[in-house]
Amino acid sequence: MSAINIGICGLGTVGYGSYCVLRSNSLELARRVGCEVRVSHVGSRRLRPGQDIGETRFSTDVFAVVDDPQVDILLELIGGTGIAKEVVLKAIANGKHVVTANKALIAEYGNEIFAAAAARNVMVAYEAAVAGGIPIIKAIREGLAGNSIQWLAGIINGTGNFILTEMREKSRPFADVLKEAQALGYAEADPTFDVEGIDAAHKLTILSSIAFGIPLQFSKTYTEGISGITQEDIRYADELGYRIKHLGISRRTKNGIELRVHPTLIDENSILANVNGVMNAVMVNGDAVGSTLYYGAGAGAAPTASAVVADIIDVARMISSPESSVPALAFQDDSLSDVPILAMGDVESAYYLRIAAQDKAGVLSDITEILGDCEINIEAIIQKEPRGHDASNQRVPVIILTHEIREAVMNEAISRMEKLEAVEGHITRIRVFRLDS
Ligand code: HSE
């Protein structure tokens, strides 16, 4: 083979970033693959100001790229699950290999897409879909393949981590930091996906599938975002020796697999607690290797392009020796396991609770009595002096850290505490995760 032709669909942040890396590293790429790898056709609604694709063929209809018989590998960098899905399925039907950075597409339609790809004997590679430039798919699918994975936990949304970091370090308001993340090209087209945890849930769905050998099950992923996190929760967590991070956690238990994304208190001395800004990090624990850590830029043009181009190299090598391919979901297609995903009520966790209570005698004992009734052990408790608005309303914040308990029991306790006359509004609950568990 004298050259491998790449078709790019979508020329946004990641699309143009990938085009630039393919161009600037073309000599290195040829040395790695054994032949020239060139972009032969680009499809996008428009070229943005500053985008220069030289003499490369350009179409405003992405399907012109999908149907171009010269294209060997199609890059789907449109995003979303609309046209992107059609593009990928059509490319597969046309016998093309596909590289995508589209976590939503893989998490929600991956089972269908991989089946279609297997039927046509083509590859669908998706390293860039999870944790930007960190080669976490390859690490789990290949580097840790000798292990039975026990759990993984990670910061897998750069925008959310950027927001929490700026809120803590610079006391900046949430909305202000989100705007900056959008301007820097970190956020999704719809930033609700970042702040409500949907983006992280897409990524966790993919990671858990390749870690545990289960089908992709996005609809069973418990998802909670960071939009409810306040400056005061960040300060109280600090006082207790914790940081609040938005984590994706998936853990093997004897009853099934936990699959959850939510704000989480983690020990301030742990490595993940010190992963800041747009950086991502994933800890993976295998029975043989123990805990391992993968860290790097989780979003942005060049880091994501790094993963896209690595996939292109894998696919290009596979084109020259097809027998060496790795199964798309790490385990053989006919041996995916039906171990259940645990309902959130069955997940065991420790909890941080912030309760707005009236400043009068007996409140604390009412609260601790309910926790005692439910056999919830208290690890730490702080009752603050009422200040400002709270003082004029005779209200005190009570912060409680509990030991591990089943979520359903905690739900029951919270519901009983919220019914106490002296407890105002909803109780804030943030789960705690101990990385050595
Ligand atoms: N919006 C995503 C993030 C982009 O902030 O992590 C990378 O997937």
Indicate the SS3 state at residue 245.
strand
Is residue 187 in contact with ligand 1, taking CB distance under 6 Å?
yes
The H or E element spanning position 237 is helix 231-239
CATH code where residue 354 lies: 3.30.70.260
Is residue 128 in contact with ligand 1, taking CB distance under 6 Å?
no
Give the pLDDT of residue 332.
82
Using the 8-state DSSP alphabet, how is residue 255 labeled? Answer: S
For residue 420, tell me if it sits in a domain: yes
Is residue 194 in contact with ligand 1, taking CB distance under 6 Å?
yes
What's this model's pTM, rounded to 2 decimal places? 0.91
Burial of 321: CB neighbours in 10 Å, binned 0-12, 13-18, 19+: exposed
For residue 194, the ligand 1 atom closest to its alpha carbon is 1
162 with 237, same domain: the answer is yes
Give the pLDDT of residue 37.
94
Ligand 1 centroid distance, CA of 187 (Å): 6
77 φ, ψ (degrees, to nearest 5): -130, 35
For residue 317, tell me if it sits in a domain: yes
71 with 198, same domain: the answer is no
Ligand 1 centroid distance, CA of 191 (Å): 9
β-pair partners for 405: 349
Q: What is the DSSP string of 16-80?
A: HHHHHHHHHTHHHHHHHHSSEEEEEEEE-S-PPTT---TT-EEESSHHHHHT-TT-SEEEE-S-S
For residue 341, tell me if it sits in a domain: no
Last residue of a domain, one of 297, 323, 355: 297
143 with 278, same domain: the answer is yes
Lookup: tokens for 254: 């004897």
* 90 noted as active-site residue: no
Give the pLDDT of residue 437.
52
Distance, CA of 298 to CA of 415 (rounded, Å) = 37
Give the pLDDT of residue 167.
95
311 with 377, same domain: the answer is no
Pocket residue to mutate for ligand 1, from 14, 199, 304, most atoms within 8 A of Cβ: 199
Is residue 157 in contact with ligand 1, taking CB distance under 6 Å?
yes
219 with 273, same domain: the answer is yes
CATH code where residue 14 lies: 3.40.50.720
CATH code where residue 285 lies: 3.30.360.10
182 with 210, same domain: the answer is yes
Give the pLDDT of residue 387.
64
The three state secondary structure string of 102-113 is CHHHHHHHHHHH
Tell me, what amino acid is at 152?
Answer: L
Is residue 299 in contact with ligand 1, taking CB distance under 6 Å?
yes
Last residue of a domain, one of 268, 297, 326: 297
Residue 314 near residue 395, CB atoms below 8 Å: no
- In the set 96, 103, 138, 203, the catalytic residue is 203
Pocket residue to mutate for ligand 1, from 13, 165, 188, most atoms within 8 A of Cβ: 188
Distance, CA of 232 to CA of 360 (rounded, Å) = 22
Low-confidence ranges of the chain (pLDDT < 70): 324, 385-393, 436-437
Interstrand relation of 97-100 and 242-252 (parallel, antiparallel or unpaired): unpaired
How many CB atoms are located within 10 Å of the residue 338 CB? Answer: 6
For residue 276, tell me if it sits in a domain: yes
Is residue 158 in contact with ligand 1, taking CB distance under 6 Å?
yes
Give the pLDDT of residue 34.
87
100 with 213, same domain: the answer is no
Q: H-type helices in 70-197, by residue range?
A: 83-93, 103-120, 136-138, 158-170, 174-183, 192-195
Residue 297 near residue 280, CB atoms below 8 Å: yes
Tell me, what amino acid is at 35?
Answer: C
For residue 437, tell me if it sits in a domain: no
Distance, CA of 205 to CA of 222 (rounded, Å) = 10
For residue 18, tell me if it sits in a domain: yes
Distance, CA of 408 to CA of 252 (rounded, Å) = 19
Total domains in the fold of the chain:
3
Distance, CA of 105 to CA of 94 (rounded, Å) = 19
Give the pLDDT of residue 280.
97
- Structural domain including 164 reads 136-297
79 with 188, same domain: the answer is no
7 with 89, same domain: the answer is yes
For residue 299, the ligand 1 atom closest to its alpha carbon is 7
Ligand 1 centroid distance, CA of 13 (Å): 11
Ligand 1 centroid distance, CA of 310 (Å): 18
Distance, CA of 179 to CA of 196 (rounded, Å) = 15
Indicate the SS3 state at residue 129.
helix
As a whole-number percent, the residues of the chain with pLDDT over 70 amount to: 97
For residue 80, tell me if it sits in a domain: yes
51 with 159, same domain: the answer is no
Give the pLDDT of residue 321.
74
For residue 145, tell me if it sits in a domain: yes
70 with 163, same domain: the answer is no
Give the pLDDT of residue 436.
67
Q: Hunting for tokens 């942005």 — which residue is that?
A: 300
351 with 326, same domain: the answer is no
Largest distance between two CA atoms of the chain = 83
